[in-house]
Amino acid sequence: MTEPPLPPGAGDGAATDVPVCYRHPDRESHIRCQRCNRPICPDCMRDASVGFQCPDCVKEGARQTRQGRTAYGGKRSADPRQTTLALMGVNALVWVMIVATGGYRSSLTDLLALRPKGLCVDRAGQVNVVVPEASCVAPFGTWHEGVSSGAYWQLLTTAFTHVEIWHIAVNMFSLWLLGPMVEAVLGRTRFLVLYVGSALTASAAVYWLSAPYGSTVGASGAIFGLLGALLVFAHKVGGNVQQILLVLGINIVITFSYARISWQGHLGGLVGGIVIAAILAYAPRRHRTAWQAAGVGLVLALTAGAIVLRTAALV
């Protein structure tokens, strides 16, 4: 038998092309990335749903992947503390400005605190609720705005207003404890909706149930809303609600133990927080965002309606 002739170049030491890892040119590689088709060595192989990917494609895929969502549809916050810190910063800034301009005598306190009905303060500093706004002009006296006389911003600004240091200290400590936990569950946008919504329902309760010429300040209505929300979330997942109920019970006792504490605001914020949290937590998964928006919108519409009715009664 005769052997077939060798192909040209065979046996003369000529090298053949061998694929090498694009990140390690000194390593032979016969595996390719499923996305970019570049050869990769075992050290560069990353598990994929099918085959392997290179480190560069894994990073790019992570960048393009939609950010994770919370259990109730919100975008997961990278750091849930940031929103709480921002809210605390606004409260602290307003407090410093009020203290620097006279505390309870500051014009900022008069402007931002929730007062259901406007009143006139005469030159001697005496309150005169009989004098109408049109007659309360210099040099006779100064008019102090109320919600029913057009100062509707007070319904929100009251939740960012404090005068005494113990008041802001207690409220901000409570906000620091509760805020990040609630945002971790809801995401930033839904957390802010809950916080502001609770503040507004608290203000509506104060507007209806407190003395017409008194003034109310503080973030505690919104904070009670956060506490109510945690109660809803714990119940939703079948968790132990006893500790939350204990904390809530202690705060309710404190609320009704001191005459200067606004039980109206605490009650309104708690109810608002529970209702809004229930809407966010129990909304159907299908079209969940639309259900949540409609439910919260209805709560805010009813709150606005209650405010309008109270204004008509006070004017």
Show which residues are catalytic. 220, 266
Is residue 52 helix, strand or coil? strand
**Is residue 48 within 8 Å of residue 34, measured between CB atoms?**
yes
Q: Which amino acid is at 170?
A: V
CA angle 173, 249, 226 (to 5 degrees): 45
R_g (Cα) of the chain, nearest Å:
32
**What is the token pair recorded at 217?**
């300040």
**Buried/exposed 226-253: b ≥16 CB within 10 Å, e otherwise:** bbbbbbbbbebeeeeeeebeebbeebee
CB burial of residue 129 (10 Å; 0-12, 13-18, 19+): exposed
The pairs formed by 165-171 with CB atoms below 8 angstroms and a separation of 24 or more are 165/95, 167/217, 167/218, 168/91, 168/92, 168/95, 171/91, 171/218, 171/219, 171/220, 171/223
CB-CB neighbours of 155 under 10 Å: 20
Which of 197, 232, 236, 188 has the alpha carbon at shortest distance from 70?
Answer: 188
